Amino acid sequence: MPELPEVETVRRELEPWLVGRRIRRARRVDAPRGPKYAGLERARGRRILGVARRGKFLLLPLSGGLELVIHLGMTGTLTAREPDGHVRAVLELHGRAPARLYFRDPRRFGRMLVVGAGDYAALPTLARMGPEPLSDDFQAPAFFAALQSSSAIKTLLLGQRPVAGLGNIYADEALWTARIHPRREARQLSRRKTYELCDAIEAVLSAGVEAGGTTLRDYRSLGGQPGGYAPKLQVYGRAGEPCPRCGAAICRIVVGGRSSHLCPRCQRWPAQRG
């Protein structure tokens, strides 16, 4: 569900509220003991030093060399107001109200755990995550190098290795923008094409952030607001509608088990050559 723009929107709301606050307690609620909620008790008494983001992960450095890691999974939302149900964890703060952060997650794909600062051994995707796409760390030549794989380009992007933060929606949007078929073998893309994709990723994600993210169903910002990017989606969820660029009917295919949306005319499979 939440991809980089949605997580960044939440991060920006959390930051002024949480930074400097001391944690009274962090507790699991209706979530099984296990790695997804490991070490929450260690947050007790710590101060929140910052609210950062890497890809789709929220990272809250704590005093005492610890770090609170939150991943919203598919359906996770954070809220200051107590939700109806599906609360998996609560962060209780000292001091002024609002003093509770609720983590609601119907499908239980999300996680909230405390690790040693920078110790991502329990989070392999985070440990091996590629550069932040909206930072100077995202450079076209390194991106090209990271695409030298036999995987389908979209599958590779969803793995978070070439670049951080893309999910199913923005991957489809970026590939449409760069006119690349999602099933193309990544290493067969020309250098120039990968540079176009680099630009498209940056453009699509920054527009997503600017709009406050995409709400298809579940996503809400901390204040309960839906994102404004859904009407700006060009292909995602628009199978059968005309391509905004050429008018051909957008189609839906499955790539790596994920539904994928593309324009069959703009995003042609490369012509077979003899």
What's the burial of 111, exposed, middle or buried (CB within 10 Å: 0-12/13-18/19+)?
A: buried
Least distance in angstroms from the C-beta of 195 to DNA: 20
Task: Check binding of 272 to DNA (CB under 7 A).
Answer: no
Q: Is the preceding omega at residue 98 within 30 degrees of 0, hence cis? A: yes
Q: What residues numbered 201-230 form the site for DNA, per CB under 7 A? A: 214-219
Q: Which of 21, 179, 258, 265 is catalytic?
A: 258
Task: Check binding of 10 to DNA (CB under 7 A).
Answer: no
The question of whether 3 is a catalytic residue gets the answer yes
Task: Check binding of 152 to DNA (CB under 7 A).
Answer: yes
Task: Check binding of 87 to DNA (CB under 7 A).
Answer: no
Q: How many other CB atoms are there within 10 angstroms of residue 34's CB atom?
A: 10
Q: According to CB under 7 A, which one of 20, 29, 32, 191 is a site residue for DNA?
A: 32
Least distance in angstroms from the C-beta of 154 to DNA: 10
Per DSSP, helices labelled H in the chain are 4-18, 124-127, 140-146, 153-158, 168-177, 191-210
The question of whether 258 is a catalytic residue gets the answer yes
Q: Which of 11, 36, 56, 104 is catalytic?
A: 56
Q: According to CB under 7 A, which one of 149, 196, 202, 203 is a site residue for DNA?
A: 149
Q: Which amino acid is at 199?
A: D
Q: Cα separation of 135 and 198, whole Å?
A: 12
The question of whether 100 is a catalytic residue gets the answer no
Q: How many other CB atoms are there within 10 angstroms of residue 132's CB atom?
A: 17
Task: Check binding of 9 to DNA (CB under 7 A).
Answer: no
Contact 69, 119 (CB under 8 A): no
The question of whether 2 is a catalytic residue gets the answer yes
* List of residues 6+ apart from 104 with CB closer than 8 A: 76, 77, 78, 79, 83, 85, 86, 87, 88
Residues annotated as catalytic (active site), given as ranges = 2-3, 56, 258
Binding residues for DNA, per CB under 7 A? 1-3, 6, 32, 35, 55-57, 71, 73-74, 85-86, 106-109, 123-126, 149-152, 155-156, 158, 160, 167-169, 214-219, 256-259
